[in-house]
Amino acid sequence: MLKCSDTTHTLGFEHQSRSELLSSIIIAAVGRNRVIGVDGRLPWRIPDDMARFRSLTTGHALLMGRATYESIGRPLPDRTTIVLTRQRGWAADGVITAHSLDDGLALAQDAGVDCFIAGGAEVYSEALSVADRMELTEVHSEPHGDTFFPEVDWGRWDEVARDQRDGFDFVSYARRQGRSGGIRQIVLRTWQHLCR
């Protein structure tokens, strides 16, 4: 007999990432050449993109690598800031630290909020296999840069919305659900609901 304390492993979802239990959303602004950063900062200044970032992420968790956090320099208001670092002694005021992506996602889940994964390159690379949505600002230029968004297997993603602007598009992608994947999600979510 299953109990609510049973893990996803017991339920037969061991191959399914823990992060699939919550909404984990990659958020990034990406050039046509996949550039996302240069010299530790953004290669552009797009006020509408910053406004959209604020609007989408407010009230939720922001999960980011230590370098991205240091380029911002402070926790952003009205959001739970979770910083990934492998340095056990690293800390900053107003910030929660996590030492692995899974731990960071679990902290957001414990806080009961969606988790926006805000880069940089290393974090995006790891998160691509577990995120269920992507909110991308596709910038219509090829700036010089030293940090790149990972190659995406677009066969695994559906474009669900596109808002064309002057010089960039806001594009929403959802992970494509296989038939069995969809059924697994329904069973898992029903189980979680019953355990509330």
Ligand X SMILES: NC(=O)c1ccc[n+]([C@@H]2O[C@H](COP(=O)([O-])OP(=O)(O)OC[C@H]3O[C@@H](n4cnc5c(N)ncnc54)[C@H](OP(=O)(O)O)[C@@H]3O)[C@@H](O)[C@H]2O)c1
Residues that bind ligand X (CB under 6 A): 28-29, 36-37, 40-42, 64-68, 71, 84-87, 90, 99-101, 118-123, 126, 147
Q: If you compute the radius of gyration of the chain from its CA atoms, what whole number of angstroms results? A: 17
Give the Cα separation of 133 and 8 in Å (integer). Answer: 21
Q: Which residues of 152-168 are buried (b: 16+ CB within 10 A; e: fewer)?
A: beeeebeeeeeeeeeeb
Nearer to ligand X, 100 or 192 (CB): 100
Nearer to ligand X, 66 or 175 (CB): 66
* Residue 5 Cβ vs ligand X, minimum distance, rounded to whole Å: 27
Three-state DSSP state, 148:
strand
Nearer to ligand X, 88 or 193 (CB): 88
Nearer to ligand X, 75 or 120 (CB): 120
- Containing 108, the helix (H) or strand (E) segment is helix 101-111
Are 18 and 105 in contact by the 8 Å Cβ rule? The answer is yes
* Residue 42 Cβ vs ligand X, minimum distance, rounded to whole Å: 5
* Residue 81 Cβ vs ligand X, minimum distance, rounded to whole Å: 13
Nearer to ligand X, 90 or 157 (CB): 90
* Residue 140 Cβ vs ligand X, minimum distance, rounded to whole Å: 14
Contact partners, residue 17, CB within 8 Å, separation at least 6: 102, 129, 130
Determine the residue with CB nearest ligand X.
120
- What value, to the nearest 5°, has the Cα angle with vertex 81 and ends 161 and 112? 70
* Residue 113 Cβ vs ligand X, minimum distance, rounded to whole Å: 19
The pair of three-digit structure tokens given for residue 33, joined into one six-digit string: 């050449």
